[in-house]
Amino acid sequence: MIVLPLQKGSNAERSKHRNRQAILGQLRTAGAMGRAEIARALSLTTQTVSNIIAELSQDGLLLEMGRVSAGRGLPAIQYALNPEGGYALGIEVRPDAIFAALLDMHGKAVATERIAVTQAQPDVVMTHVKALYARALDQVPNARHRTLGAGIVMPGPFGETGITGMGSDLPGWQEVDAETLFEEAIGLPVVLSNDANAAAMAERINGVAQDITSYAYLYFGAGLGLGLVHGGHLVRGAYGNAGEIGHIPVPGQSGNLEDALSRLSVQRHLQLAGKDAHNVDTLDQFFQQNDPDLMAWLTSASAALGHAMAIVENMFDPQTVILGGAMPDAILDHLVAHAPLPDLSVSNRPNAPHPRLMRGASGRMTATLGAAALILNRALSSPISHAH
Amino acid sequence: MIVLPLQKGSNAERSKHRNRQAILGQLRTAGAMGRAEIARALSLTTQTVSNIIAELSQDGLLLEMGRVSAGRGLPAIQYALNPEGGYALGIEVRPDAIFAALLDMHGKAVATERIAVTQAQPDVVMTHVKALYARALDQVPNARHRTLGAGIVMPGPFGETGITGMGSDLPGWQEVDAETLFEEAIGLPVVLSNDANAAAMAERINGVAQDITSYAYLYFGAGLGLGLVHGGHLVRGAYGNAGEIGHIPVPGQSGNLEDALSRLSVQRHLQLAGKDAHNVDTLDQFFQQNDPDLMAWLTSASAALGHAMAIVENMFDPQTVILGGAMPDAILDHLVAHAPLPDLSVSNRPNAPHPRLMRGASGRMTATLGAAALILNRALSSPISHAH
DNA sequence: ATTGATAATTCAAATGAATTGAGTTAGTCC
DNA sequence: GGACTAACTCAATTCATTTGAATTATCAAT
């Protein structure tokens, strides 16, 4: 997965493809618009936009919303993304279960499926994934020939690294080319990603980051993950393993960030007190009951979160940091409210337009939805970074 | 400096511009090539490359290197970048001095200038900068009408943040629009950056990162800075202050990373022992003499560097981390050799193609050269990220 | 109610740049 | 020496955007 310095040339066809994407992306972020308005936003002529809009309409990707008058002149015909114009499949592979979700172009989940598994070897997973996709399509007949691709979420890190074999990765997957395997199994273009990255994109497509282009997402999976988005695109690192924040040592304590701040951490902590909290709902109940052991954990977790904020903010200078993943919303809210935000941070600026830390909005299936969001994001934005 | 979600459309002209840049960039990274070979690398037709090469030659940007036969067929005429085809100005503004460097297209410094200053208010700086540019042009008459732009390096962070006013920023610059000021003063397009970012780009243009596209640069300025390069482009953060790693707390010690790992840190440490080390050469002498106080500092600095590595590697998963800045090479080498590289890191992979930590090659004027490198990088690569 | 200004849209023709296809040239391989 | 191969050139074509003129629908002022 090494990044090559390749810089492809451009031609008329590629330009057109880019402009199609740009128009779709513009309609997604800014809502319904007229053609002239789109043209101004993208520095194109109205004629060009008109031509492309005609094609997109033909392809069923747009909805005409009628004319809306705004001041003088001919009122513009408003166009909006047709949610049923395309779909994206999201697959999340965990050691004990496989999740699938089908998202429409608005990022709404129109079908969700899950299946419990006892084994997660590649061949077993492929069989299940095929079945889940078929079941999702049965619910949404429209989607059969309109699915743009599949995003797959699997526990990282990918490839052999210094944190391989620490329990979070799946057995039997080290040697295989997962991307090709999935591509052949479901017959769609595939994007592979870890849970934190996917969750980060879920917020961008259908959560609190819809108008935020540079942010970090702290994700409660088994451990603690981080998804980095810069200029609307994921920062994956040279080998796709950027954001392994859980393994960074914590000041003042022995151990790593995820020893204090993760699902495993809270489970372990409560287990020492003889309490079982393997379930998110159980955890929520403990919190509602003000369970003293949970509260003790929250105190140390808040401190660790404060430290994570110092690292993330000073390293990436994001617009905001979003907290989410496999935790009850109430606990996430508590952490957001109680984490000590570091004073010594570039993000500690007056009149910041966004809160420094906020809770994600995508709920429990975040990673699965995020997997699909990776596909939507690719369909709706070209890999061009912001102009300076 | 907030990143806007703008995604401009494309047309024939913009395509051509992009292809020109792509060809120049290809010649820079891969050296002299024939037209057909370039065409294959960029997915263009030979004819297109032929047309653009003709124009670039006309503009004096290329050198014909004669035919080189390689196997069967007509030997290709090799084209290479003409170093004298364009120049980039780099300016570094420090509280006590201003540096200027003029780089040719190969990234070679063809003129360097410096001037000591007692005041660094905007108006004073502008006067000096104009003079330095003029002096540089006197040395390289060719460059007068071929300077592509100016990169400016100033102490960050930019804008008001939680680490403003900690001694590293310049007085009188908080309220001004520095970019416009410089643009008007020297009549060139300007890119503004902090020292660590500039140093990172210097390594890419003319150092150890020429064939590395994703890396981090740990920079010894007054404090400790970090430049992040992903896919050949700087990751600046939402407000341009990404990489303020010096203010991250260190585990096991009170204080920040730059309390243990920076110029100020070593100066302070030696001052407590009654030794003055404000000068890089003095520092070098202490090192050559195995000065016990310096050695003690190096021990704690190495530990801090190890911790910085854990953060940078796990957060960013770079191909390598480069260490450089205002330190003697011998000390940098010592740190590279003695820093404890964390086992628990995504970068701790077998058969890694690059060392995890290496010393930068740009020498003492790193930041100034890097400022100019920002311009060259912009001229030689379009803001298109790597395809997946 | 009429008239003028404004803005969105469409149609047809022009333009810019890349591609295509048919030669030409200069080497290697047998 | 002849077949083969690959780079390169020329001219014609294609693709997609732009340009400019004409049309339409609404607002605002008289």
Gap between the Cα atoms of B212 and B366, Å rounded = 18
% of residues, chain A, pLDDT over 70: 93
pLDDT, residue A69, reads 82
User: Is B69 inside any structural domain?
Assistant: no
The two tokens of residue B192 are 């503004």
> Under DSSP, is residue B298 helix (H, G, I), strand (E, B) or coil?
helix
Tell me the CA end-to-end span of chain A in Å, nearest whole number. Answer: 28
Q: Smallest CA–C1' separation from B33: which nucleotide?
A: D7
Nucleic chain D contacts, Cβ below 7 Å:
A 12-13, 15-16, 19, 43-48, 51-52, 67, 69, 71-75; B 9-12, 34-37, 46-47, 50, 71-77
pLDDT, residue A383, reads 57
pLDDT in tens, A239-298: 989 999 998 987 666 688 999 999 999 999 999 999 998 889 999 999 999 999 999 999
Residue A22 at interface with chain B, using a CB cutoff of 8 Å: yes
Q: What average pLDDT does this structure show over B339-355?
A: 93
User: Is A4 inside any structural domain?
Assistant: no
pLDDT, residue A384, reads 45
Nearest to residue A308, comparing CAs of A197, A216, A239? Answer: A216
Lowest mean pLDDT among A86-100, B46-60, B171-185, B372-386: B372-386
What is the Cβ-side half-sphere exposure of residue A26, based on CA atoms within 13 angstroms?
A: 26
Best of A3, A49, A245, A377 to substitute, by most chain B Cβ atoms within 10 angstroms, is: A3
pLDDT in tens, A20-64: 999 999 999 899 999 999 999 999 999 999 999 999 999 999 999
Q: What average pLDDT does this structure show over A338-344?
A: 95
pLDDT, residue B1, reads 42
User: Is A343 inside any structural domain?
Assistant: yes
pLDDT, residue B174, reads 76
Nearest to residue A208, comparing CAs of A312, A335, A359? Answer: A359
Q: What average pLDDT does this structure show over B37-47?
A: 96
pLDDT, residue A163, reads 63
pLDDT, residue B3, reads 39
Quick check: A248 and B310 CB within 8 A?
yes
pLDDT in tens, B105-127: 999 999 999 999 998 899 999 99
Same domain, A39 and A176: no
Residue A347 maps to which CATH number? 3.30.420.40
Gap between the Cα atoms of A91 and A154, Å rounded = 9
pLDDT, residue B171, reads 77
- Chains A, B: CB contacts within 8 A come to 276
Quick check: A8 and B42 CB within 8 A?
yes
Residue A46 maps to which CATH number? 1.10.10
Nearest to residue A200, comparing CAs of A371, A380, A28? Answer: A371
Establish whether the CB of A47 is closer than 7 Å to any nucleic acid atom in strand C. Answer: yes
User: Is B47 inside any structural domain?
Assistant: yes
Instruction: Give the pLDDT band (50/70/90) at residue A388.
Output: very low
Same domain, B280 and B138: no
Tokens 């934190």 label which residue?
A196
Gap between the Cα atoms of A149 and A88, Å rounded = 6
pLDDT in tens, A104-155: 999 999 999 999 999 889 999 999 999 999 999 999 999 999 999 999 999 8
Measured to protein CB atoms, the chain D nucleotides within 7 Å are: 4-11, 14-20, 24-28
The alpha carbon dihedral of B323, B329, B335, B341 has a sign of positive
How close, in Å, is residue B235 to chain A by CA atoms? 7
Residue B346 has pLDDT above 50, yes or no: yes
User: Is A386 inside any structural domain?
Assistant: no
pLDDT, residue A5, reads 41
Q: Are B76 and B46 spatial neighbours (Cβ–Cβ below 8 Å)?
A: no
The two tokens of residue A361 are 């909005």
- Residue A91 phi/psi, 5-degree rounding, is -125, 130
The two tokens of residue A62 are 């747009």
Same domain, B225 and B158: no
Quick check: B161 and A385 CB within 8 A?
no
Gap between the Cα atoms of B84 and B76, Å rounded = 23
Q: Smallest CA–C1' separation from A37: which nucleotide?
A: C8
Q: Are A318 and A356 spatial neighbours (Cβ–Cβ below 8 Å)?
A: no
Same domain, A190 and A317: no
Instruction: Give the pLDDT band (50/70/90) at residue B255.
Output: confident
- Residue A157 phi/psi, 5-degree rounding, is -75, 160
Gap between the Cα atoms of B183 and B86, Å rounded = 18
Residues 51-80/B with CB < 7 A to strand C: 51-52, 67, 69, 71-75
In degrees to the nearest 10, what's the CA dihedral of B77, B80, B86, B92? 170
Residue A1 has pLDDT above 80, yes or no: no
Nearest to residue A32, comparing CAs of A77, A72, A87? Answer: A77
Contacts of B385 in chain A (CB under 8 A): 233, 383-385
Lowest mean pLDDT among A185-189, B120-124, B167-171, B374-378: B167-171
User: Is B74 inside any structural domain?
Assistant: no
Q: Smallest CA–C1' separation from A33: which nucleotide?
A: C8
Q: What average pLDDT does this structure show over A357-376?
A: 93
Best of B174, B317, B382, B386 to substitute, by most chain A Cβ atoms within 10 angstroms, is: B317
Contacts of A321 in chain B (CB under 8 A): none
Contacts of A214 in chain B (CB under 8 A): 3, 237-238
Instruction: Give the pLDDT band (50/70/90) at residue A355.
Output: very high
Same domain, B91 and B128: yes
Residue B352 at interface with chain A, using a CB cutoff of 8 Å: no
Contacts of A209 in chain B (CB under 8 A): none
Contacts of B346 in chain A (CB under 8 A): 157, 161-163, 237, 239, 241, 244, 247
Instruction: Give the pLDDT band (50/70/90) at residue B160.
Output: low
Same domain, A38 and A178: no
Residues 139-178 of chain B whose Cβ lies under 8 A from any Cβ of chain A: 157, 159-163
Residue A175 has pLDDT above 80, yes or no: no
Gap between the Cα atoms of B96 and B268, Å rounded = 19
In degrees to the nearest 10, what's the CA dihedral of B293, B298, B299, B303? 150
Residue A347 at interface with chain B, using a CB cutoff of 8 Å: yes
Nearest to residue B388, comparing CAs of A160, A383, A377, A202? Answer: A383
Which segments of A7-86 are extended strands (E)?
62-68, 76-81
Same domain, A249 and A346: yes
Q: Are B166 and B111 spatial neighbours (Cβ–Cβ below 8 Å)?
A: no
Residue B318 at interface with chain A, using a CB cutoff of 8 Å: yes
In degrees to the nearest 10, what's the CA dihedral of A21, A24, A26, A31? -170
Helix (H) or strand (E) holding B120: none
% of residues, chain B, pLDDT over 90: 75
Q: How far is the CA of B68 from the C1' of D11 (A)?
A: 28
User: Is B335 inside any structural domain?
Assistant: yes
Q: Which residue is nearest to nucleotide C10 (CA to C1')?
A: A47
Tell me the CA end-to-end span of chain B in Å, nearest whole number. Answer: 28
Cβ neighbours for A116, distance < 8 A, ≥ 6 positions apart: A96, A97
Nearest to residue B207, comparing CAs of B386, B367, B385? Answer: B367
Q: What average pLDDT does this structure show over B18-40?
A: 95
Establish whether the CB of B47 is closer than 7 Å to any nucleic acid atom in strand C. Answer: yes
pLDDT, residue B252, reads 64
Query: In A214-354, which residue ranges form alpha helices assigned H by DSSP?
Result: 257-260, 263-272, 280-288, 292-316, 329-338
Q: What average pLDDT does this structure show over B148-177?
A: 76
Residue B383 has pLDDT above 80, yes or no: no
User: Is A5 inside any structural domain?
Assistant: no
Mean pLDDT of all residues in chain B?
Answer: 91
Establish whether the CB of A2 is closer than 7 Å to any nucleic acid atom in strand C. Answer: no
Lowest mean pLDDT among A164-178, A234-248, B186-200: A164-178
Same domain, A22 and A122: no
Residue type, B307: H
- Total number of domains constituting chain A: 3
Same domain, A229 and A345: yes
Contacts of B245 in chain A (CB under 8 A): 314-315
Gap between the Cα atoms of B132 and B134, Å rounded = 5
Contacts of B344 in chain A (CB under 8 A): 162-163, 247, 256
How close, in Å, is residue B23 to chain A by CA atoms? 8
Same domain, A340 and A236: yes
Nearest to residue A84, comparing CAs of A139, A142, A29, A28? Answer: A142
Gap between the Cα atoms of A337 and A287, Å rounded = 15
Gap between the Cα atoms of B11 and A43, Å rounded = 10
- Number of Cβ within 10 Å of residue B382's Cβ equals 19
How close, in Å, is residue B318 to chain A by CA atoms? 5
Mean pLDDT of all residues in chain A?
Answer: 91
Same domain, B212 and B348: yes
pLDDT, residue B180, reads 93
Question: B279 is in which domain, residue-wise?
Answer: 208-361
Q: Is the peptide bond before B157 cis (omega within 30 degrees of 0)?
A: yes
Cβ neighbours for B320, distance < 8 A, ≥ 6 positions apart: B209, B212, B215, B354, B355, B356, B357, B358
pLDDT, residue B4, reads 44
Q: Smallest CA–C1' separation from A73: which nucleotide?
A: C7
Same domain, A251 and A290: yes
